[in-house]
Amino acid sequence: MAIDKVPNIQEYISHHLTNLQLDLRTFKLVNPNNIGIYKNFWILNIDSMFFSLILGLLFLMIFYKIANRVTTGVPGRFQSGVELIFVFVDKNIKDIYRSKNSLIGPLSLTIFVWCLLMNLMDLIPTDLFPYISKCTIGLSTIRIVPSTDINITTAMALGVFILIIYYSLRIKGISGFTKELTLFPFKNPIFIPINIILESVSLFAKPISLSLRLFGNMYSGELIFILINGLLPWWIQWMLNVPWAIFHILIIVLQAFIFMVLTVVYLSMASEEH
């Protein structure tokens, strides 16, 4: 059921797809009714930032606690779960990344678990947190799935992109990286302008594909939950919510895995000497 009484499905959908925003120029919350005119650099989606940081801290606390309580005997359930994640991530890194790098392991583990936790927020009932927010701060405009915010997925992809440029310059040098952009795939100097266009498109497509793939899949999943709750009466919603949630678990895990694997692949390509 909707948090507030809304006259039609369009308002219900719009309400649940609106972020809780802060204007950094005035440090005041943006009026949800005027949300359409606040599309600029100085607007911060504080709900996305809040839940991203909370989930990141939760990941660090859990893994730090488990690491300090590791036993050599029969492990507990939490230790077994963490070890399975470690082995899973480590196996994928060894299969893809051929160079030696002390950063790639922690980075891949962080990306996988953090994305997974953010995606899992999509399984929480749609109206639960808006109701809690309305009772506590008087605002029901809140979104709790950070990966459905294009700003969050783009920020993560840009972080990976910066590492791609860094390792490309570090491993290949400025000269090698420049030659890679200008002399590939056609080695004849006549084709340098064409090579630059082709390689630039390929280079910039990496962060764009990373961010849009995660955002698109999670946004569509969230939208389906909202449509089910907005179109059907509360007593029958579970008949569609439960099957979709079970199927959506596969998407949640798969998208976190894909983001991690593509990060490792891109960094492996950047670390290759030519």
**Tens-digit pLDDT profile for residues 208-230:** 999 999 999 999 999 999 999 98
CB 255 within 8 A of CB 118: no
Confidence band for 40, pLDDT divided at 50, 70 and 90 = low
The boundaries of the domain holding residue 167 are: 48-134+147-270
Cα separation, 175 vs 194, whole angstroms: 19
In this predicted structure, what is the pLDDT of residue 37? 46
Least confident stretch, 152-161, 229-238, 260-269: 229-238
Strand residue runs (E) in the chain:
21-23, 28-29, 43-45
In this predicted structure, what is the pLDDT of residue 213? 96
For the stretch 103-161, pLDDT in tens is 999 999 999 999 999 999 999 998 999 889 888 877 778 999 999 999 999 999 999 99
Least confident stretch, 2-6, 27-31, 231-235, 248-252: 2-6
Nearest CA-CA partner of 66 in 52, 77, 56: 77
Compute the average pLDDT of residues 35-46: 70
Query: Does residue 21 belong to any structural domain of this protein?
Result: no
Query: Does residue 12 belong to any structural domain of this protein?
Result: no
Query: Does residue 14 belong to any structural domain of this protein?
Result: no
Q: Does residue 5 register a pLDDT over 70? A: no
Q: Does residue 34 register a pLDDT over 70? A: no
Query: Does residue 116 belong to any structural domain of this protein?
Result: yes
In this predicted structure, what is the pLDDT of residue 30? 81
Paired strand residues for 45 = 21
In this predicted structure, what is the pLDDT of residue 221? 95
Q: Pick the more confident residue, 184 or 96.
A: 96
Least confident stretch, 22-26, 51-55, 137-141: 137-141
Compute the average pLDDT of residues 12-19: 87
Query: Does residue 41 belong to any structural domain of this protein?
Result: no
Q: How many domains does the chain have?
A: 1
Q: Does residue 6 register a pLDDT over 90? A: no
Q: Does residue 38 register a pLDDT over 80? A: no
User: What one-letter code names the amino acid at 207?
Assistant: P
Q: What are phi and psi of 104, to 5 degrees?
A: -65, -35
Share of the chain above pLDDT 70, in %: 93
Cα separation, 251 vs 75, whole angstroms: 29
Mark residue 104 as left, alpha or beta (left: phi above 0; alpha: psi -120 to 50; beta: remaining): alpha
User: What one-letter code names the amino acid at 254?
Assistant: L
State the catalytic residues.
209, 213, 217
Count CB neighbours of 204 within 10 A: 11
Q: Give the chain's mean pLDDT.
A: 89
Query: Does residue 85 belong to any structural domain of this protein?
Result: yes
Cα separation, 105 vs 190, whole angstroms: 41
What's the whole-model pTM score? 0.90
Query: Does residue 90 belong to any structural domain of this protein?
Result: yes
Q: Does residue 2 register a pLDDT over 80? A: no
Query: Does residue 185 belong to any structural domain of this protein?
Result: yes
Cα separation, 210 vs 161, whole angstroms: 10
In this predicted structure, what is the pLDDT of residue 49? 95
